[in-house]
Amino acid sequence: MSTDCRAAAALLFHIVRRERGLFLRFGWSVLLLFCAGVLRAQPAATPATLLRPAAVFDGQDLHPGWVVVVENDKITAAGPAGKVTPPAGARTLELPGLTLMPGLIEGHSHLLLHPYNETPWNDQVLLESQALRVARATVHAQRTLLAGFTTARDLGTEGAGYTDVGLKQAIDKGIIPGPRLLIATRALVATGSYGPKLATDIDVPQGAQEADGVDGIVRAVREQIGKGADIIKVYADYRWGLNGTAAPTFSQEELTLIVQTARAAGRGVVAHASTPEGMQRATLAGVETIEHGDDGTPEIFKLMKQRGVALCPTVAAGDAISQYRGWKKGQDPVPPRIQQKAQSVQAALKAGVTLVMGGDVGVFAHGDNAREMEQLVQDHGLSPLQVLRQATSGNAQVFHLADRGRIRPGLLADLVAVTGDPTQDVLAVRQVQLVMKGGVLYKQP
């Protein structure tokens, strides 16, 4: 008996306690008719689908001539066409000239933000209503999904409270289309170290939650987890003081307490950090990833490698901001900020630090997520295969997502097909022809 039938039986039993004779005459007939209606109302089982692309990138390597079988929301088979037998009645989806690969995983996004050349960050936080920001975010979520990113780590609402919790729920319930989200809710900052900042005698709403000291930090971490945070984000350093110079904010003890409190509840911590001292404190505290790392040194990256801390360099965000400020890329000299970022990325690579693929989307347009992958190849010398691995199996491993990031039986049917070979040409990730999430097609040729 189905769950709905059991519920109906319990309800009928409760109702007819006062009408025993009526139940004895008609009750079971009514129940059976009700259950038959319930069963008919259930969606029909999704037939198996055989996807037949030109090649399959399984999250690690390219396999020409492979096919993939999907049943319901899972991958049930993958391998050479001649060795995979689809279930009886399976439909075939021909994908000639396309490479099928795991859904891409965005490592650093802000769905509640939109490009700073449209509206400055301060104005988004201070002047835009939460209703407006959430409405925009629903569009951002759809654009992200249709760009081939079926999972996104969203690292802070930037003044929009816990609205990412509702956004995640709406996606999970199928109310709006979007990627599977890992959310950080409000994020944590030390008092006085974040923004917006106006005159010294004016207090304004902040873009993250301020917390200090043992009691304040433990309370804030637990509050965010209680509200729905999958991960805790902390700003280990930031631009503060009259000169706006980046400097460490939380003490070593405070950062360690944040990590310990989050870890006790089964949550990891990510740290915004760009200064050597901020990066060192975050690494020693036990964070899982450091975001940005602009001024990282060989010594810091060596420490990160030893401690198993990954780097999300967000090269696309700095590039976009420099262009917003007037830099004509390809014509003007490379700004010092961009040169320093390039040195940082190379030092991280030389030290063997694991790179997370994430662009800080929201600084630039959602749906343009592939910009990070392109710039890592074009401006920083990584191969297309390296960044493709980062955006699939690599991110899945760092983010503890054992159910996705590869194409193999038993994993989620989060799949993307692109024109050409993305392991050789990173621009191919722009040519998204098919998007499947949990076995549901959101885009197809």
Task: Read off the pLDDT band of 36 (50, 70, 90).
Answer: very low
Q: Is 59 helix (H, G, I), strand (E, B) or coil?
A: coil
User: What is the per-residue pLDDT for 46?
Assistant: 58
Note the pLDDT tens digit of each residue in 310-324.
999 999 999 999 999
CA–CA distance, 68 with 143 (Å, rounded to integer):
25
Residue spans in the chain of domains classed CATH 2.30.40.10 = 49-102+409-443
Average pLDDT, the chain: 91
Per-residue pLDDT at 269 exceeds 80: yes
Partners of 106 in beta bridges? 152
CA dist., res. 239 & res. 245, Å (int)? 5
Whole-number pLDDT of residue 241: 82
d(CA 218, CA 224): 10
Nearest to 158 by CA among 197, 109, 208: 208
Give the span between the Cα atoms of 85 and 131, in whole angstroms.
50
Predicted local confidence at residue 197, as pLDDT:
87
Q: So what's the pLDDT on residue 195?
A: 93
Confidence (pTM): 0.89
Alpha helices, H only, 147-251: 163-172, 213-227
Angle, alpha carbons 188-262-172 (nearest 5°): 85
The 8-class DSSP code of residue 17 comes to T
pLDDT higher than threshold 60 for residue 6: no
Task: Please report the pLDDT score of residue 243 as a whole number.
Answer: 81
Per-residue pLDDT reduced to its tens digit, 164-196: 999 999 999 999 999 999 999 999 999 999 999
Report the range of poorest mean pLDDT among 43-47, 184-188, 351-355, 388-392. 43-47
Cα gap 67→55, rounded to integer Å: 8
Q: What is the mean pLDDT of residues 150-169?
A: 98
pLDDT tens-digit profile of 48-99?
A: 999 999 999 999 999 999 999 999 999 999 999 999 999 999 999 999 999 9
List, for residues 369-407, the tens digit of each pLDDT value. Answer: 999 999 999 999 999 999 999 999 999 999 999 999 999
Instruction: Count CB atoms within 10 A of the CB of residue 163.
Output: 20
The confidence score (pLDDT) of residue 299 equals 98
- pLDDT score of 395: 98
Q: What is the CATH number of domain 104-398?
A: 3.20.20.140
Q: What is the fold of 49-102+409-443?
A: Urease, subunit C; domain 1 (2.30.40)
pLDDT at 366 over 70: yes
Mean pLDDT of 286-304: 98
Q: What are the start and end residues of each CATH 3.20.20.140 domain in the chain?
A: 104-398
More confident residue, 251 or 29: 251
Q: How far apart are CA 235 and CA 278, in angstroms?
A: 9
